[in-house]
Amino acid sequence: MTSEDPELRETRPDERLELSRLEPFLRAQLPGAEGEISVLQFGGGHANLTYMISIGQDEWVLRRPPLGPVAPGAHDMKREHRVLSRLHEVFPLAPRSFLLCEDRAIIGADFQIMERRRGIAVRALLPPDYGAFPDLKRRIGDMLIDTLVELHQVDPAAVGLQTLGHPEGFLQRQLDGWARRWKAAKDRDLESVDHLVKRLQTDLPSSQVATLVHNDYKLDNMLLDPSDPAKPTALLDWDMCTRGDPLSDLGLLLNYWAEPGDDPACHSVSAMPTWTGGFPSREDAVDRYARLSGLDLSAWRWYHAFGIFKMVVVIQQIYIRYLRGQTADSRFAAFGDKVVAMAAHGLAVVEA
């Protein structure tokens, strides 16, 4: 079976869904699920496994955690279902989640069934034919900030999410957690990382408000309208959503917001096409967020540096798996140097 969606592919052999229990479960739970069943996999993600389930003329999306051990609190399908079963009522870019299954006898893991949204996913480069859209790069950059502000202005209580997460002490808890992850994954002592963590601890800002926080907000977690790629059709990957400091979302986004003059070694593993030029600068993005949100952005470099530190840890976690022989992917051989470059970059940002 093939599809016009470039994100869809035949399921990887080691990630196939066992239909003997799944099919009868879905037919019993989903209204109107009649006709032949087929499964394709969305191939663009790096963690959670996502599939398109077709039954007759109807389509749904199934999401489950990755294979193998999962860290506590990570890849949380229950959390994502809780958010997406309600958030669509006030934030239309959130796909609706219809069903959560915690019976691991069905496919071997928790999973959820969500609505199918259509659109184009953009990663490190814009498709060549996007040059036909005037001023597209600026408009995409503005859209990223406008959408983030819109999310942060949602009242969690309006959709029953007022008890999601624990906003008190959010930044300190986040920083402590990422520092522990660094210590668990490091293969050597790096003075630059130690200094970066110390500066982040010393200069920890006070959170101004508590809002919904996506926690992985970036361009390739969006689907874009093919007729106008500056218009999003969906915001995806909500399994880390919580309530906390909204500027943590902005800081992580700035980490991905590579600029033409940046050292390529400092690009994160999911750099957006902003490095190709023509997009608003990071400072333009900060100014726009400040104007639309009304928040004080005087400490924005701290949040940017914290976003960089998170990616230092993520890249080191990948690198240590390579060193331990847990993955043979040769792309990861240079990640040790990338960690050093990004740590230096984070220090330069927080000390600016």
According to DSSP, the β-strands at 37-42 and 97-101 are unpaired
What are φ and ψ of residue 242, in 5° steps?
Answer: -155, -170
Q: What is the pLDDT of residue 74?
A: 66
Higher pLDDT, 234 or 44: 234
CATH number of 8-115: 3.30.200.20
Write down the pLDDT at residue 45.
61
Give the model's pLDDT for residue 270.
79
84, 238 Cβ separation under 8 angstroms: yes
Give the pLDDT score at 1: 39
**What tens digit of pLDDT does each residue of 67-113 get?**
766 655 667 999 999 999 999 999 999 999 999 999 999 999 999 99
Could you tell me the pTM of the whole model? 0.93
Q: Could you give phi then psi for residue 99, rounded to 5 degrees?
A: -155, 135
Alpha-carbon Rg for the chain, nearest whole angstrom, is 20
Q: How confident is the model at residue 2 (pLDDT cuts 50, 70, 90)?
A: very low
User: Average pLDDT for residues 325-332, to the nearest whole number?
Assistant: 81
Give residue 68's pLDDT. Answer: 66
User: 273-279: which pairs have CB atoms within 8 A and are 24 or more residues apart?
Assistant: 273/122, 273/123, 273/124, 273/125, 273/126, 273/137, 273/219, 274/137, 274/141, 276/125, 276/126, 276/137, 277/137, 278/137, 278/138, 279/137, 279/138, 279/140, 279/141
Inform me whether the pLDDT recorded for 210 exceeds 50: yes
The two tokens of residue 297 are: 């952005």
pLDDT digits (tens, 9 = 90+) for 54-70: 999 999 999 998 776 66
**120 backbone dihedrals φ, ψ, rounded to 5°:** -100, 135
Please say if the pLDDT value at position 267 is more than 90. Answer: no
Give the tens place of pLDDT for each residue, 109-126. Answer: 999 999 999 999 998 899
Taken in order 235, 240, 243, 245, is the CA torsion positive or negative? negative
Mean pLDDT confidence for 285-310: 98
Between 110 and 271, the higher pLDDT residue: 110
The answer to whether 51 and 39 are in contact (CB under 8 A) is yes
Buried b (16+ CB within 10 A) or exposed e, 143-170: bbbebbbbbbebebeebebeebbebeeb
Task: State the average pLDDT for the chain.
Answer: 93
Average pLDDT over residues 211-234: 96
Tokens of 218: 């970036």
For the chain, the structural domain boundaries read 8-115, 128-350
Can you give the pLDDT at residue 75?
A: 79
Q: Looking at the DSSP assignment, which residues form a beta bridge with residue 212?
A: 243
Supply angle C-alpha 86, 244, 117, rounded to 5: 35
Average pLDDT over residues 278-297: 98
CA-to-CA distance for 182 and 162, rounded, in angstroms?
A: 31
Q: Which CATH architecture is the domain 128-350 placed in? A: Alpha-Beta Complex (3.90)
CB 72 within 8 A of CB 94: no
CA 37 from chain centre, in angstroms, equals 29
Residue that wins the pLDDT comparison between 72 and 39: 39
Cα 38 to chain centroid, rounded: 27
Alpha-carbon distance 123 to 218, whole Å? 10
Structure tokens at 28: 């019993």
**Are the beta carbons of 312 and 175 closer than 8 angstroms?**
no
- pLDDT tens for 163-205 read 999 999 999 999 999 999 999 999 999 999 999 999 999 999 9
Other C-beta atoms lying within 10 Å of the C-beta of residue 72? 5
- In a 3-state reduction of DSSP, which class is residue 255? helix
pLDDT band at 229 (very low <50, low <70, confident <90, very high): very high
What Cα–Cα distance (Å) separates residue 323 from each residue in 5, 184, 309? Answer: 36, 14, 21
Q: Does an H or E element contain 64, and which? A: strand 58-64
77: helix, coil or strand?
Answer: helix
